[in-house]
Amino acid sequence: MKNNWATAAFVILLAVVPTVAFSGYHLFQLTMVVVYAVAILGMAILVGFNGQISLGSGAFYAIGAYTTAILMTTFDVPYWATLPVAGIVCAGFGFLIGLPALRLAGHHLALTTFALAVAVPQVLKYKLFEDWTGGVQGLVIDKPDPPFGLPLTSDQWLYLFSLGVAVLMYVLAWNLVRGRIGRAMRAIRDHATAAEAMGINLAMVKTRTFAVSAMYTGIAGSIGAIVVAFVAPDSFSIFLSITLFVGLCAGGAASIPGTIVGAIFIEFVPNFAEQVSKAAPGAIYGVILIAMLFLMPMGAGGFLARLWRQSFGSRGRSAGDARPAALGHDTSVPVDLTGSLARADRMPVGRGEGVKP
Amino acid sequence: MPALLEAKGLHAAYGETKVLHGIDFSVEEGGVTALLGANGAGKTTTLRAICGMVHTDGDIILGGEAIAGMATEDVVRRGVAHVPDGRGTFMELTVEENMRLGAYTRKDREVEADFERMFGYFPRLKERFRQQAGTLSGGEQQMLAITRALLLRPRLLLLDEPSFGLAPLIVKEIFNIMRRIRHEEKVSILLVEQNASLALAFAEDAYLLETGRIVVSGKAADISKDESIRRSYLGY
Amino acid sequence: MEGLIHQIIAGIATGGIYASVSLALVMIYQATHHINFAQGEMATFSTYITLTFINLGMPYWVAFFLAVAVSFCIGVAIERVLIRPMINAPILSAIGVFIGLLLIVNSMSGWLFDYTIKQFPSPFPDESLFGGYVSGHQLGSTGVTLAVLTAVYLFFRHTSLGLAMRAAALNPVSARLVGVRVGWMLALGWGLAAAIGSVAGCMVAPVVFLDPNMMAGILLYAFAGALLGGIDSPLGAVLGGFAVGVIENLGGAYIVGTELKLTMALVIIVVVLTVRPSGLMGRTVQSRV
pLDDT digits (tens, 9 = 90+) for A291-339: 878 776 555 555 555 555 555 544 434 333 333 333 222 333 333 333 3
pLDDT band at A195 (very low <50, low <70, confident <90, very high): confident
DSSP, collapsed to helix, strand or coil, labels residue A280 as: coil
Q: What pLDDT was estimated at residue A192?
A: 80
Smallest CA–CA distance from B139 into chain C, residue: C289
Smallest CA–CA distance from C113 into chain A, residue: A279
Position C196 pLDDT exceeds 90: yes
What pTM did the predictor assign?
Answer: 0.82
- Look at A287 and C100 and tell me if their CB atoms are within 8 Å: yes
Among A198-202, B98-102, C12-16, C236-240, the range of highest mean pLDDT: B98-102
Which residues touch B45 (CB under 8 Å, ≥6 apart)? B12, B14, B19, B20, B54, B212
Position C284 pLDDT exceeds 70: no
Q: What pLDDT was estimated at residue C118?
A: 86
Smallest CA–CA distance from B158 into chain C, residue: C177
Chain A residues closer than 8 Å to B39 by CB: 356
Neighbours of chain A (3+ CB pairs under 8 A): B, C
Query: What's the topology of domain B5-93+153-234?
Result: Rossmann fold (3.40.50)
Q: What pLDDT was estimated at residue A304?
A: 52
pLDDT band at C174 (very low <50, low <70, confident <90, very high): very high
- Look at A353 and B88 and tell me if their CB atoms are within 8 Å: yes
- Spatial separation of the C-alpha atoms in residues A234 and A137, rounded to whole Å: 9
- Distance spanning both ends of chain B, measured CA to CA: 34
Asked if the C-beta of B211 comes within 8 angstroms of chain C's C-beta atoms, the answer is no
Q: If you average pLDDT over residues C93-113, what whole number do you get?
A: 87
- Spatial separation of the C-alpha atoms in residues B1 and A219, rounded to whole Å: 80
- Look at C35 and A126 and tell me if their CB atoms are within 8 Å: no
Find residues 150-179 of chain C whose CB sits inside 8 Å of chain B: 160, 163-164, 166-167, 170-171, 173-179
DSSP, collapsed to helix, strand or coil, labels residue B5 as: strand
- Spatial separation of the C-alpha atoms in residues B77 and B150, rounded to whole Å: 13
A354: left (phi over 0), alpha (psi -120 to 50) or beta: beta
- Spatial separation of the C-alpha atoms in residues A30 and C7, rounded to whole Å: 51
Smallest CA–CA distance from C287 into chain A, residue: A352
Which residues touch B105 (CB under 8 Å, ≥6 apart)? B76, B77, B152, C178, C179
Q: What pLDDT was estimated at residue B192?
A: 94
Position B83 pLDDT exceeds 80: yes
Position B27 pLDDT exceeds 80: yes
- Look at B104 and C285 and tell me if their CB atoms are within 8 Å: no
Q: What pLDDT was estimated at residue B82?
A: 95
Q: What pLDDT was estimated at residue B150?
A: 93
Position A185 pLDDT exceeds 50: yes
- Look at C177 and B51 and tell me if their CB atoms are within 8 Å: yes
Residue A339's Cβ-side half-sphere holds a number of Cα atoms within 13 Å equal to 29
- Condensed to tens digits (0 to 9), the pLDDT of residues B115-161 reads 999 999 999 999 999 999 999 998 999 999 999 999 999 999 999 99
Q: How far is CA B101 from CA A351, B148, C176, in A?
A: 19, 7, 10
Q: Which residue has the higher pLDDT, B103 or A330?
A: B103
Return the DSSP state at A337.
T
Which among A118, A349, A353 has the least Cβ separation from residue C216?
A118
- Look at B88 and C181 and tell me if their CB atoms are within 8 Å: no
For residue A118, give how far its alpha carbon lies from the nearest alpha carbon of chain C (Å): 8
Q: How far is CA C202 from CA A228, C25, C156, C225, in A?
A: 40, 17, 24, 20
Smallest CA–CA distance from B91 into chain C, residue: C287
Q: What amino acid is encoded at A208 in this protein?
A: R
- Look at B82 and C177 and tell me if their CB atoms are within 8 Å: yes
- Condensed to tens digits (0 to 9), the pLDDT of residues C18-33 reads 999 999 998 888 888 8
Task: Determine the structural domain holding residue C144 and report its residue range.
Answer: 2-275
- Look at B90 and C174 and tell me if their CB atoms are within 8 Å: yes
Which of C163, C176, C177 should one mutate to test binding to chain B, selecting the residue with the greatest count of B CBs within 10 A? C177
Position B224 pLDDT exceeds 70: yes
Query: Cα-atom radius of gyration of chain B, to the nearest Å?
Result: 17
Position A290 pLDDT exceeds 90: no
Q: Which residue has the higher pLDDT, A237 or A355?
A: A237
Chain C residues closer than 8 Å to A53 by CB: 91-92, 95
Q: How far is CA A220 from CA A65, A128, A169, B164, in A?
A: 8, 26, 10, 59
- Condensed to tens digits (0 to 9), the pLDDT of residues C127-160 reads 777 766 778 888 888 899 889 989 988 998 899 9
Say what percent of chain C tops pLDDT 90. Answer: 35
Position A4 pLDDT exceeds 90: no
Asked if the C-beta of A12 comes within 8 angstroms of chain C's C-beta atoms, the answer is no
- Spatial separation of the C-alpha atoms in residues A171 and A169, rounded to whole Å: 5
- Spatial separation of the C-alpha atoms in residues A186 and B28, rounded to whole Å: 55
ipTM of this complex prediction, to 2 decimal places:
0.90
- Condensed to tens digits (0 to 9), the pLDDT of residues A10-25 reads 888 877 777 777 777 8
- Spatial separation of the C-alpha atoms in residues C105 and C111, rounded to whole Å: 10
Say what percent of chain B tops pLDDT 90. Answer: 64
Smallest CA–CA distance from C37 into chain A, residue: A111
- Spatial separation of the C-alpha atoms in residues A62 and A231, rounded to whole Å: 9
Q: What dotted CATH number matches A8-344? A: 1.10.3470
- What mean pLDDT value characterizes chain A? 78
Domain CATH number, residue C145: 1.10.3470
Q: How far is CA C175 from CA B103, B105, B149, C106, C126, in A?
A: 12, 11, 12, 35, 48
The sign of the dihedral angle between the CA atoms of A259, A255, A86, A125 is positive
Find residues 87-146 of chain C whose CB sits inside 8 Å of chain A: 88-93, 95-97, 99-104, 106-108, 110-111, 114-115
- Condensed to tens digits (0 to 9), the pLDDT of residues A253-263 reads 788 888 998 89
The residues spanned by each domain of chain B are: 5-93+153-234
Q: Which residue has the higher pLDDT, B56 or C258?
A: B56
pLDDT band at A351 (very low <50, low <70, confident <90, very high): very low
Asked if the C-beta of C83 comes within 8 angstroms of chain A's C-beta atoms, the answer is no
- Look at C288 and B136 and tell me if their CB atoms are within 8 Å: yes
Q: What pLDDT was estimated at residue B8?
A: 92
Asked if the C-beta of A355 comes within 8 angstroms of chain B's C-beta atoms, the answer is yes
Question: Which residue, among A355, C187, A258, C240, has the nearest Cα to B85 in the 3D structure?
Answer: A355
Beta bridge partners of A1: none
For residue C289, tell me if it sits in a domain: no
- Condensed to tens digits (0 to 9), the pLDDT of residues A100-116 reads 888 777 888 888 898 88
- Spatial separation of the C-alpha atoms in residues B159 and B199, rounded to whole Å: 11
Asked if the C-beta of B22 comes within 8 angstroms of chain C's C-beta atoms, the answer is no
- Look at A245 and C263 and tell me if their CB atoms are within 8 Å: no
